[in-house]
Amino acid sequence: HKLVTTSSQHLVNRGLRPHRRILKPKTDRKILTIHRVSCFTARSFVTKATHKIMNFIKKAFIKWLLPQISSHMRSPDEGFLGTVAMTLMKKFNSRSIREGIHRMQLRSTDTFVELGAGNGDGLLSLIDLNKIPPSGDQSRSPSLPKRVVLIEISERFRIELHKIIDQLQQENEVIAPRIEVHSEDCISMPFLEDDSVDKIFGMNVVYFLSPLEDYLREIKRVLKPGGKIVFGCKFGSLPREGTSKEFVNVNRHVICDALEKEGFNVTVSKVLVDGGDNEMKNYVEIIGVKAYNDTERECENLVEVMESSQ
């Protein structure tokens, strides 16, 4: 406005007629506003487009990289590729695992199993849940499940898990004894009795379970009637089917069909993490619930009636 006024006065002093547009600072302000809005819109468009392009490049790179380090994604060793695999899992799985643990709705009476416990993000989430009361209920503080079983075949990851447990032992002597770490593959879990587990969770684990039917049979054995297995899957970043020896179960429909064949009731949903902006953190949640037989269902209904009448 100051520039326009000065220019107009300069022309008048020289005996010249100012340009009509110069005499209307309101019009200039409108034009300036439109210009600023246009620039802001353009910048926003470029930023969003750049973000999408970078995510596409990142996903494509990881899709290429995974077959090269597939054996280390299942069980990282001490070498360079093992370190790369651990770094990838830490970067893209941590928030997904924490979201998955929160969605499990664990109770203090549960026996909980995590398949592929990794570097302990799931365990740390359990500890955090034990510290933070549920939203809207400050009177009740959640408790760690009565038994936590962590299954991890990688020795490097088991070392990380034991470090967390040792630290926890110093801070809370009551919680630490409830946590177990096992090195056995979950195709055989002799340390778990029949119908003894309430909930099982595995993020980015089901791809490596082959033959899947044998693993699901063992999972069904240890689950209580009504207990559930939850698989978190990121199918969009996986190698194509048949291109990797380790990544076997990369088709959602094949996994769901196998669960249903073993007698599980299956539901599938998309989980958006941190608002869903980063596709590498979002995942597909496949839940298989072990069905009751008629006698078990009647007993369960009777218990619910008795509890509600008290």
Higher model confidence: residue 139 or residue 272? 272
Residue 21 has which token pair? 């547009």
Contact, 254 vs 241, CB < 8 A? no
Average pLDDT over residues 91-96: 82
What's the confidence (pLDDT) of residue 229?
98
What's the confidence (pLDDT) of residue 258?
97
Tell me the pLDDT tens digit for each residue of 122-161: 999 988 877 755 454 444 445 689 999 999 998 988 999 9
CB atoms within 10 A of CB 262: 19
What's the confidence (pLDDT) of residue 176?
72
What's the confidence (pLDDT) of residue 294?
58
Contact, 146 vs 109, CB < 8 A? yes
CB contact set of 93 (below 8 Å; sequence gap of 6+):
118, 121, 203, 204
Straight-line distance from the first to the last Cα atom of the chain, in angstroms, rounded to the nearest whole number? 78
Higher model confidence: residue 4 or residue 287? 287
Lowest mean pLDDT among 63-67, 83-87, 149-153, 161-165: 63-67
Confidence of residue 86 (pLDDT cuts 50, 70, 90): low
What's the confidence (pLDDT) of residue 142?
52
Residue 291 has pLDDT above 50, yes or no: yes
Residue 81 has which token pair? 């590729």
What's the confidence (pLDDT) of residue 278?
76
Higher model confidence: residue 112 or residue 17? 112
Average pLDDT over residues 180-192: 95
Average pLDDT of the chain is 78
Residue 277 phi/psi, 5-degree rounding, is -70, -35
Residue 54 has pLDDT above 50, yes or no: yes
Tell me the pLDDT tens digit for each residue of 99-112: 999 999 999 999 99
Q: What is the pTM of this model?
A: 0.70
Higher model confidence: residue 47 or residue 146? 146
Alpha helix ranges (H) inside the chain: 2-13, 25-68, 70-74, 80-103, 121-131, 155-171, 212-222, 252-261, 294-309
What's the confidence (pLDDT) of residue 23?
45
What's the confidence (pLDDT) of residue 3?
46
What's the confidence (pLDDT) of residue 238?
79
Residue 245 has which token pair? 């020896």
Confidence of residue 172 (pLDDT cuts 50, 70, 90): low
Confidence of residue 171 (pLDDT cuts 50, 70, 90): confident
> Which among 133, 202, 120 has a CA at the least distance from the CA of 168?
120
Tell me the pLDDT tens digit for each residue of 191-250: 999 999 999 999 999 999 999 999 999 999 999 999 999 999 999 877 778 777 888 999
In order, the DSSP letters of 218-232 are: HHHHHEEEEEEEEEE
pLDDT-above-90 percentage for the chain: 44
Average pLDDT over residues 304-310: 55
- Look up residue 179 and give its amino acid: I
Using CA atoms, how far apart are residues 128 and 59, in angstroms rounded to an integer?
Answer: 30
